[in-house]
Chains A and B, each alone.
Chain A
Amino acid sequence: TQLLEQSPQFLSIQEGENLTVYCNSSSVFSSLQWYRQEPGEGPVLLVTVVTGGEVKKLKRLTFQFGDARKDSSLHITAAQPGDTGLYLCAGVSGDNDMRFGAGTRLTVKP
């Protein structure tokens, strides 16, 4: 069973700041997904990355998959209070075997 470690566990920043959160593993994944979860709701898929070195952008969010497909990062530019939430990464291996990290809880203060 692969272990996904996310860091930092908690992050509190002011509106307008930039931030990066990380998802690391010793295992190789066929793809990796990032989700955001708000209180009282289920996780919502943000992006899927499948190719080593791949970079995807979603407005102010930039996702990168490591060259070796073992790690990923999420960078947010000019964070806004609406970005507040729990950011989860999930690694997919084999045929649809997906495991989640514990998440990074982000708070963006106005």
Chain B
Amino acid sequence: EAGVAQSPRYKIIEKRQSVAFWCNPISGHATLYWYQQILGQGPKLLIQFQNNGVVDDSQLPKDRFSAERLKGVDSTLKIQPAKLEDSAVYLCASSSTRQGTAFKKTYEQYFGPGTRLTVT
């Protein structure tokens, strides 16, 4: 089974420029997530899609970040314009529900390798 694919793996841009990241989730996974991971920190959820609808974008800086998931498969995350503090690894993950014990559903996420963004 192919994993989550992301591109590019690395990107260096100057502040105020624009950048876009692409993610292809595991086939059949309805839920897709974009995370920002700043050096030394855990991943922070930016946006969560269920199929092509947004479930949670409460932590997405909407003045400069945008994301879309057309047709409920691939997704793109865009930053425009970039700031120095946007330097981070941007992780994409996907998940499907699994019936766990005691009739509880668990949501196990599968991550891509990430895109390391450096803003200079």
Contacts and interface: CB of A to CB of B under 8 A. Distances in A.
Interface of A: 4, 6, 30-31, 33, 40-45, 48, 50-51, 88, 90, 92, 96-103
Contacts of B101: 50-51
B42 A102 contact: yes
A41 B42 contact: no
A48 B106 contact: yes
Chain B CB within 10 A, most for which of A4, A40, A96, A101:
A96
A64 to B, nearest CB: 15
B31 A96 contact: yes
Given A40-B114, A90-B42, 18 more contacts: A31-B106, A40-B116, A41-B114, A42-B4, A42-B111, A42-B112, A43-B111, A48-B106, A50-B101, A50-B106, A88-B42, A92-B107, A98-B45, A98-B109, A100-B43, A100-B44, A101-B42, A102-B41
Contacts, number: 62
Nearest to B42: A100
A42 B107 CA distance: 17
B102 interface: yes
Contacts of A90: 42
B87 to A, nearest CB: 16
B14 interface: no
Contacts of B110: 45
Nearest to A30: B104
Nearest to A4: B42
A97 B48 CA distance: 10
Contacts of A99: 45
B54 to A, nearest CB: 14
Contacts of B35: 100
B31 A31 contact: no
Contact of A50 (B4, B40, B42, B104): B104
Nearest to B40: A102
Report the 8 A-B pairs with minimum CB-CB distance, sorted nearest first. A42-B111, A100-B42, A96-B107, A102-B42, A100-B43, A48-B106, A50-B100, A43-B111
